[in-house]
Structure 1
């Protein structure tokens, strides 16, 4: 009885958080809940909601490319998905807007599901074991990893939790790799299927790929796509000790992907000093972009405070200043015209 009373406030808090969340988040939470309940219904097979190489095209179960990413078989995973979605959307949705946020979710979910079955199809082609052809994949692990990538991009140095035993802190830039490593450990001890690890890895990659090369930037930079900063290079997802080892390998893979036209080239700019075209990172643009993201995040949080009137609007002050300047200019023009008229009258009488 005491346990039920203790969990009731927590359930009420979760329900209140979902109700107060953005419409996009509510839609995703409803999809997770509905598909979880449908999976519990008698006569509903996992293969009707999850995706596999042997059923996607041969049996024309095209809808599983979308349902697989939102279908969880265990309630604990549904709750973990809720936490990841609600915590990340509080930061990302105000920065991106609802349309961009849902675009990111759908792209990552669909691409991850299709990529997983392609991996298992190629394994089947190589070793000719039919079990790989019908290995199912489902769950939102890929999207959770992609959302962690987006959070790393926005606030990489944000502390998640201190780790006093080793004298370090878990920061946001460590989270994507930690998710993949945790999924691998859980799969090794049998608590997760191997396909889930593949899905988490693919989700991390596709989330980074979209943010790195394809996402349109904010107002005034509509023609700029992606985040080309060195701090968002794929090697930075690995621990610092491993980065010098993996960087050459990743550079080779990137060159192959560019040759196959699966990834765009990094933009080239002209060095003003030498007038040579060099492939460099746009450091000033990256710094400006980080400042814009930080200001947007700060403004979105200030709007949620209880006393927003204590924080003056910079736009309002600028408009007021412009109005005062215009008024001052008007007074100067009037005074000058009056002086001109007064000066012209004596001249007329002298003639």
Structure 2
């Protein structure tokens, strides 16, 4: 009997909706297809000029793909990425993340296309289809960059080695290039940019941090103030200082507009694992995880150092235990040796002959 796939509930629902909507959209487009114009399904996908009377398309359009290539990538992304994130965050937190990572990029892309139409007067901007899992793909990569920032992925037998925070930027470049081809629409460019910014801002400033699991309490910490999840960490080392300077200025503007809440010193200390461990203190689980990770890295470093230093030298044998003199009594033939009991003391009085000799 083949093993049963263990898929969490939210991920299972996403896969079912993706398959259902994609095949339904494909069947409708195939029946109505003509060589003169493209066929769109305005009640499943988001089209600025046609879908205002179908407000649910701001959500459903994320799980509709136009071709087999993008459909395969979407299925792999949701199957592996969704399972990992849902188990790491719980289903409720994962559902909130999906809502933010799909709805907000679609709304921003919708507004961008309308503004471009207002500036240029070109009607094709409002007839551009906004659909696909591109916002989810880039959002999953940003989430992985937060969860495993130090993890390195090695491809092609070590020829290509890349840290996880580099993948979002690479994915954005690939999507931008594919947007110049018939594989992806022009809206894909705006979707990937908006998805990247939306997911990072949400995880950086708004997502609830888990409290101490040993105590029943509400989560009071939000966001991730760690340096490994800074905006500049997604970019190559040579341009990090310039990106950091620019992002700091944008951050000040967002704080002034009350879009983001500045981190307190306690948040920064908790993200570094400097919080004093007290039972029941919110955020102590994060500090405990940082402490355990530091200890694990230290133990691993010691093991690697011991392995490269050569085989260990044999320990000298322990010194023999100091004991009293041992007396071996061997009875003579035909002479019965008296039985000696443990703890028994024998007293033999001196004979008269011995006294006379002395």
TM-score by length of structure 2 reads 0.68
SS of the counterpart of 1:79?
helix
Tell me by how many angstroms 1:68 deviates: 0.8
Provide, for residues 1-46 of structure 1, a one-character-per-residue CA deviation record: whole Å limited to 9, x for no partner.
xxxxxxxxxxxx9xx78x4211111100001000111102235833
Kindly indicate whether residue 253 of structure 2 is the aligned counterpart of residue 249 of structure 1: no
1:32 to 18, 43, 57: 18
Gaps (5+ residues) in structure 2?
33-38, 213-217, 276-283, 294-358
SS of the counterpart of 1:169?
strand
Retained in 1: the 8 A contact 2:11–2:86? no
Gaps (5+ residues) in structure 1?
1-12, 271-278, 297-351
Cα 1:268/1:126, change in 2 over 3 Å: farther
Task: Return 95-104 or 126-135, whichever deviates more.
Answer: 126-135
Retained in 2: the 8 A contact 1:95–1:293? no
In 2: Cα distance, 1:85 partner to 1:49 partner:
19
Q: Which residue of 2 aligns with 1:340?
A: none
The 5 A counterparts of 1:59-138 are 60-138=53-131
Kindly indicate whether residue 221 of structure 2 is the aligned counterpart of residue 235 of structure 1: no
In 1: Cα distance, 2:51 partner to 2:289 partner:
42
Kindly indicate whether residue 273 of structure 2 is the aligned counterpart of residue 284 of structure 1: yes
Cα 1:295/1:52, change in 2 over 3 Å: farther
The 5 A counterparts of 1:109-258 are 109-162=102-155, 168-220=160-212, 222-258=219-255
The 5 A counterparts of 1:309-324 are none
Tell me by how many angstroms 1:251 deviates: 2.0
Retained in 2: the 8 A contact 1:215–1:225? yes
In 1: Cα distance, 2:98 partner to 2:163 partner:
23
SS of the counterpart of 2:50?
helix
Tell me by how many angstroms 1:133 deviates: 2.1
In 1: Cα distance, 2:156 partner to 2:252 partner:
38
- What is the number of residues matched between the two proteins? 271
SS of the counterpart of 1:262?
coil
In 1: Cα distance, 2:6 partner to 2:60 partner:
25
In 2: Cα distance, 1:188 partner to 1:131 partner:
16
In 1: Cα distance, 2:134 partner to 2:99 partner:
14
* Larger helix share, 1 or 2: 1
SS of the counterpart of 1:156?
coil
Retained in 2: the 8 A contact 1:163–1:170? no
In 2: Cα distance, 1:93 partner to 1:33 partner:
20
Retained in 2: the 8 A contact 1:71–1:138? yes
Q: CA RMSD in A?
A: 3.0
Retained in 2: the 8 A contact 1:154–1:290? no
Retained in 1: the 8 A contact 2:205–2:224? yes
Retained in 2: the 8 A contact 1:154–1:293? no
SS of the counterpart of 1:146?
helix
TM-score by length of structure 1 reads 0.69
Q: Which residue of 1 aligns with 2:317?
A: none
Q: Which residue of 2 aligns with 1:309?
A: none
